[in-house]
Amino acid sequence: MSNETSGNGGKILIGVLAIALIGSWIYFSTSKTEIINNYTTQVNTLDSAKNAIQADFIAVSAKADSLTQQNTQLQGDLLAKSTDIQQLKSNISSILRKKNASDKELAEAKSMIAELNGKVAGLLTDLAKAQEENKVLTVKNETLTTENTNLNTNLTATTKEKERLQDLGSTLHASAFSIQAVRVKGDGTEKVTKSAKRANTIRLSFQIDKNKITPSGAQDLYVCITAPNGNIFSEGGKINTREDGTKAYANKIAVQYVQNAVLPISYDVKQASKFVEGEYLVEVYHNGFKIGEGKTALKKGGLF
């Protein structure tokens, strides 16, 4: 009986141990599953958080890159802010490139992204302000350019007018005209005559008046002579005048003028052919303008 009882007790003990073993296995199996599930959940949570941070970073990076690409010539404070943004982007990117970034690192990246957003928004505001200031400066510069152009135009016009007036003012003036017909003999003796038949030279005398503008130096005078019959003495050539068109001239007289001084002029015009009776017109030109004229009349015949 006792042996039977002892055998039953052993079986009971074995059963209890088996149940305990099974329970322990079930416990450890369940615990392992929970640990794996918890780890997986944590990993998924980290991945999800990292992805969200990554998405935020991509969005703000796009804004930052757009600003820098559209404004490649930043200077001073704006350039410093742009450099700070690029450095902050680099710091965030280095964290997000890590495969096993910790919660602390992700939190730091998230904080830096918020800071990056603020810096980008600040730079955008500063750029908008700078652009408005540039618009104002552009308008001012355009106004100054227009004013400068107008000033230059006025200056050019004033300079041209000054040159024109100086040119006009430097034109000499002739006065005290004396025109005589002269007979010059072979031995050099000469005599004033009124006879067209006897005259072989016209002597032109006048003076150049004082002029404060004309500089000292060589000046060219052109003598134009028109005969009574309308024929023009044209041995010298032609000149373009300012008021009378193209004129044929008989002689060009080169004189040395002294500024603001009276200069007496005497010049003989010889005629190969015979003079005709009537009135001769003598005109003197300088600088394209007629500066004086005189007339003399010759008679048909007579001793003088």
Digit-coded pLDDT (tens) for 31-63: 545 544 544 444 445 467 778 888 888 887 787
Mean of pLDDT over the chain? 83
Are 128 and 178 contained in the same domain? Answer: no
- Quickly count: other Cβ atoms within 10 Å of residue 251's Cβ: 18
Q: What is the pLDDT of residue 40?
A: 47
Per-residue pLDDT averaged across 124-128, rounded? 85
Q: Answer yes or no: do 11 and 95 share one domain.
A: yes
Beta bridge partners of 70: none
CA atoms of 281 and 224, how far apart (whole Å): 8
Q: Does residue 140 sit within a domain?
A: no
Q: What is the arithmetic mean of pLDDT over 190-217? A: 91
Query: Is 271 inside any structural domain?
Result: yes
289 and 234 fall within a common domain: yes
Domain annotation covers residue 159: no
For residues 97 and 264, the model is more confident at 264
% of residues, the chain, pLDDT over 70 = 83
Q: Are residues 196 and 283 in the same domain?
A: yes
Alpha-carbon gap, residue 110 to 103, rounded angstroms: 10
Distance from C-alpha of 271 to C-alpha of 199, rounded to nearest angstrom: 9
The 10 Å Cβ neighbour count of residue 89 is 20
Is residue 180 in some structural domain?
Answer: yes
Same domain, 116 and 216: no
Q: How do residues 90-122 score in pLDDT, each as one tens digit?
A: 898 888 888 888 889 888 888 988 998 888 888
Same domain, 15 and 89: yes
Q: What are the C-alpha distances in Å from 175 to residues 63, 123, 214?
A: 87, 82, 17
Q: What is the pLDDT of residue 222?
A: 96
Instruction: Considering only residues 272 and 177, tell me which one the structure prediction assigns the higher pLDDT.
Output: 177
Is residue 138 included in any domain, yes or no? no
- Let me know if residue 154 belongs to a domain: no
144: in domain = no
State yes or no: pLDDT of 262 exceeds 50.
Answer: yes
Residues 124, 116: Cα–Cα separation, whole Å: 12
Any domain includes 147: no
pLDDT at 35: 45
Residue that finishes a domain, picked among 118, 133, 148 = 133
DSSP state of 195: B
Cα 296 from Cα 137, distance rounded (Å): 74
Same domain assignment for residues 212 and 288: yes
Whether residue 95 is found in the same domain as residue 201? no
According to DSSP, the β-strands at 217-226 and 251-257 are: antiparallel
What is the total count of domains within the chain?
2
Does residue 18 surpass a pLDDT of 70? no
Residues 190 and 184: their CA atoms lie apart, in Å, by 4
Confidence tier at 9 by pLDDT (50, 70, 90): low
Q: Which of these three, 133, 157, 187, is where a domain ends?
A: 133
Same domain, 118 and 196: no
pLDDT digits (tens, 9 = 90+) for 70-95: 776 777 888 888 888 889 888 988 88
On whether both 284 and 203 belong to a single domain, the answer is yes
Q: For 253-281, what is the mean pLDDT?
A: 90
Do 116 and 229 lie in a common domain?
no
Domain termination residue (choose one: 104, 133, 162): 133
Token pair of 265 as six digits: 């002029």
pLDDT recorded at residue 39: 40
What CATH number corresponds to the domain at position 236? Answer: 2.60.40.10
With bands split at pLDDT 50, 70 and 90, how would you rate the model's confidence at 138? very high
Range of the domain at 123: 2-133
